[in-house]
Amino acid sequence: MTTFDIDHLRSWIGREEVAEDIVTADLVRKFRATLDLLGDPPQEGKAVPRLIHFCLAQPAAPTASLGPDGHPQRGGFLPPVPLPRRMWAGGSVTFHGELRVGDSVRRVSRIGNVMAKEGRTGLLCFVTVDHSIEVDGLSLLQERQDLVYRGLDGGAAKAAPAPAEPGQHRRRVDASPLLLFRYSALTFNGHRIHYDRRYANEVEGYPGLVVHGPLQATLLLHFAAEIRGTPPARFDFRSLSPLFDDDTVILHAKENGDRLTLWTARENGPVAMTAEAGWA
């Protein structure tokens, strides 16, 4: 079983990283095209779609320095967790204002926590990263990002989870390899499980290309905004099981007082991601 020095990894808590970027009209145009979002042509000063910040200020490590999974080598800003699989397990975003075309964005990131846990398939390591997206010194959104590192599956098989219940609102999404490739390109995400089928199958043991967690979150948030007619002020999401490119992905939502509860699932499959959207 893989072991690691959790105290050493926890020494990363408090580390900060600052990155800058510009919200360009070209990025907005490509983001909308990738997600089939309607809207007027992007113009200077106009508000941009929510969660487009996932595309901003991404690390641009040289190709030669990437690890075998396509991620940057570990041990820089993020702690060097010695487990082969890294996934975005969930997060929370609170919006205080709108990003706009032409904004110069400053992202301040901080390692909030590092902890280990024994899971069904072995040791897990959770890393929490807190982000503040700032424009002209004002924080327009705050985000908590939860990463999980784990080994290759090898634990005892567990019973298949129950199929997801249908929501009051539903929409089908084609999680095609083209969509996954374009979203990887938008977010400058080199993780090979999203576009390299041979790697996903033979190295990480997945039956297909994996649908990005942030992509599912983005689809759910915009589904919520369409249902309520305005984007939420807060959005929380958590990944429970993977979706793949040969799945017919269904977005679900149900009314929950002043909130919407949302989830993704393949047809007749379990909940893949659950989310809560709030407007208060």
pLDDT in tens, 53-68: 999 999 888 999 888 8
Which positions ≥6 away from 73 have C-beta within 8 Å? 61, 65, 66, 67
Identify whether the C-beta of residue 126 lies closer than 8 Å to the C-beta of residue 148. Answer: yes
Threshold 0.75, pTM exceeds: yes
User: Is residue 15's pLDDT more than 60?
Assistant: yes
**DSSP letter (8 states) at residue 12:** T
pLDDT of 46 = 96
User: In terms of C-beta distances under 8 Å and separation of at least 24 residues, what long-range contacts does 221-227 make, across chains too?
Assistant: 221/50, 221/51, 221/275, 221/277, 222/35, 222/37, 222/49, 222/50, 222/51, 223/169, 223/171, 223/251, 223/253, 223/262, 224/253, 224/260, 224/262, 224/275, 224/277, 225/50, 227/169, 227/253, 227/260
Is 80 exceeded by the pLDDT of residue 155? no
What's the angle, vertex CA 19, arms to CA 18 and CA 22, rounded to 5? 145
pLDDT of 229 strictly over 60: yes
What average pLDDT does this structure show over 97-124?
Answer: 92
From 1-5, 63-67, 79-83, 274-278, the region with the lowest mean pLDDT? 1-5
Average pLDDT over residues 22-36: 97
Q: Note the pLDDT of residue 159.
A: 66
Q: What's the mean per-residue pLDDT of the chain?
A: 92
Is the predicted pLDDT of residue 1 greater than 50, yes or no?
no
- Which of these ranges, 52-66, 116-130, 143-157, 235-249, has the smallest mean pLDDT? 143-157
Q: Please determine, for residue 191, whether its predicted confidence score (pLDDT) is greater than 80.
A: yes
pLDDT, residue 67, reads 85
Residue 197 has pLDDT above 80, yes or no: yes
Give the rounded percent of residues in the chain with a pLDDT score beyond 70: 96
Q: Please say if the pLDDT value at position 73 is more than 90.
A: no
Q: 87 or 236, which is more confident? A: 236
Quickly count: other Cβ atoms within 10 Å of residue 72's Cβ.
Answer: 16
What was the pLDDT predicted at 153?
Answer: 63
